[in-house]
Amino acid sequence: QVQLVESGGGLVHAGGSLRLSCAASGRTVSVYTMSWFRQAPGKEREFVAAILTSGGSTDSADSVKGRFSISRDSAKNAVYLQMNSLKPEDTAVYYCAASPYVQLRNRHLYPYWGQGTQVTVSP
């Protein structure tokens, strides 16, 4: 099993920045992909960004390209999401997810999820 704990959410004005953190524990050796997803009220959970734990390749959704960046600290088993130039439409609960597969965007292949952290962007 892998446990994930997110932190760093909050309220920010449009144009501002936030940095989300995700700490992983447990059988982290089995994790090949770590990602961030988000879910706004009334909407499906959507992919935001992902990083492969081996090699560090990344992927991000078109809606956040150029504004958000994902990174990892292997020594700490942590993943981060730096969010800049935030927009009101970025408001959502952000979830950290981990997968034993080398894949990035399919949320159904992520068996491990954190509890989520709220990000609210005011106009």
pLDDT score at 97: 97
Over range 82-110, report the average pLDDT.
94
Percent of the chain residues past pLDDT 90, beyond the cut: 86
In the numeric block, which tokens belong to residue 41?
């009220």
pLDDT at 29: 83
Radius of gyration of the chain (CA): 13
Give which of 111, 81, 79, 90 is closest to 5, Cα–Cα.
Answer: 79
